[in-house]
Amino acid sequence: MKKVKKKVRLKRLNKFTILVILLDLIVIDGLILIQNDKFKAFWIPTAMTTMSHQYLAYTLYNEDTVNKVMSENFIEQNDEEMNLDEITIGSIKENSHYSNKYEKELFTKDSGNDVYKTIRIIEQKYKAWLIAVYDPRDVELAVSSKLGKAGQSVNTLVKNNNALVGINGGGFEDLDGWGNGSVPYGAIIKDGKLIWEHSGGSGGLIGFTKDYKMYLTTKSPQEAIQDGMKDAVDFGPFLIVNGKTSKIHGDGGWGTAPRSVIAQRKDGVVLMLCIEGRLPGYSIGATMNDVIDILLRYKAYNAANLDGGASSTLSVEGKLWNKPSAGAEYGGRTVSNAWIVTNKQNKPATAPLKSNYK
């Protein structure tokens, strides 16, 4: 009996010893990992671009290290004056010689749908949806009917405006991650009128002129309206202006996260990009460099970053189309405004057969 007990104790001791060794290795690997420059460049900007999880950066690193990494990761926004004459709406040449497979994909329309197309993008670290809107006259801004009091989900904004598609727009006050979209940051221009102005805007005005051309500017809302701005939100950064990309240092200081982006090609086609993220095992998210790479594939001429993170939401035919990092059970987070597709030209449009999460 004593010999049996001794054997059992030895087995337990061996298992415990192995566990301790494994834990030591994990700790050692962790200490090595957090000293890695690439990991720092990933971890710190990703944490610092959130509203309620910036503490994660300081959990692993001191203030000097955080400041140093952020100073090395930033974007030199292209603020040059836009050349709207380069946008020629209606110059689409369908069924012609396509310059690359992405352009062919763009113009191979969904059966019975001349308004827009949904394109699934799957990369190693992220998944995304790209919406191509063939006629920019179908794109407009929708604003929460409870502006100043509460936001509404993109789904609700799409349904309330009898729209087909919607993607979230500008940012809003989000103290401790509990903002409900009630107080937008910056300015909102709707139908050529300044309907909202508040501090906190970043990047500049993102919108469309009365001629349906995408207009990105750091001018005041009043000046933008004089220039012909019809609808606009305040956010950024601008990623592509006049076909030239902004200069990204490191990852741009925006980390890896869910993204929402709006862009326009020289032929007027509007691109709405929604990247899923913060979902380990499904989709981590994208950097600004990743976003620019996608946009250049599809020949975006002008493009700007919209509010991202948990706010990144895409609605198609009244359904939540992407997998947001939070609020999916409620139909998506409530936001202040959204860019929607209304089909004003009354072209045939059929709903895609099924959505997402694949």
The pLDDT-based confidence of 2 (bands split at 50, 70, 90) is very low
How far from chain centre, in Å, is Cα 63?
A: 28
Neighbours of 207 (CB within 10 A): 29
CA neighbor of 45 nearest in space, from 287, 338, 332: 287
Mean pLDDT of the chain: 86
Query: Distance between CA atoms of 189 and 170, rounded to whole angstroms?
Result: 11
Amino acid at 60: L
What is the per-residue pLDDT across 37-76, written as a single tens digit (0 to 9) for each?
777 777 777 777 766 678 777 887 888 787 787 788 889 9
Query: Residue 37's pLDDT is what?
Result: 76
Q: Model pTM?
A: 0.84
Neighbours of 72 (CB within 10 A): 16
Do residues 278 and 327 make contact, with C-beta atoms less than 8 angstroms apart?
A: no
Give me the count of residues in the chain: 358
What is the per-residue pLDDT across 195-252, written as a single tens digit (0 to 9) for each?
999 987 778 999 999 999 999 999 999 999 999 999 999 999 999 999 999 999 988 8
Query: Residue 23's pLDDT is what?
Result: 47
The pLDDT-based confidence of 5 (bands split at 50, 70, 90) is very low
Query: Residue 152's pLDDT is what?
Result: 96
Query: Residue 24's pLDDT is what?
Result: 46
Do residues 147 and 184 make contact, with C-beta atoms less than 8 angstroms apart?
A: yes
Residue 110 DSSP label: P
Please state the φ and ψ torsions of residue 355, each to the nearest 5 degrees. Answer: -95, -110
Residue 165, pLDDT above cutoff 60: yes
Cis peptide before 237 (omega within 30 of 0): yes
